[in-house]
Amino acid sequence: MTLFERIAAREVPAEIVYEDDEVFAFRDINPQAPVHVLIVPKRVIARINDAAAPDAPLLGRLLLTGQKLAAELGISETGYRLVLNNGRDAGESIPHLHLHLLGGRPLHWPPG
């Protein structure tokens, strides 16, 4: 099981801020912004390179969950970033696709 599957199963503690039948979201333990939430599908897709056309509804749900949480967490008006890492050079550390929701401060460009 991936770390995220263990969090979803409540085997590993996390501050879960959202959950439905397909996705859940929790605060990152090493936040890079005042708001840093990970949005994770319950069905494991290792990374975006492994996604296929049938995964499109789930991928869209991740984005719309990010939009919903940005509003609920008070950052939708000032701005936020949704980040999806793919591969070691991008900073991927857990082989379970997830979306980072970052906000609550000015986010500079380019990142990293």
* DSSP state for residue 98 in the 8-state scheme: -
Nearest to 104, CA basis, from 24, 27, 4:
27
Q: Which of 36, 96, 98, 108 is catalytic?
A: 98
Is 100 annotated as catalytic?
no
Rounded to an integer, what distance in angstroms lies between the CA atom of residue 26 and that of residue 15? 5
Contact at 8 Å (CB) between 47 and 11? no
Residue numbers annotated as active site = 98
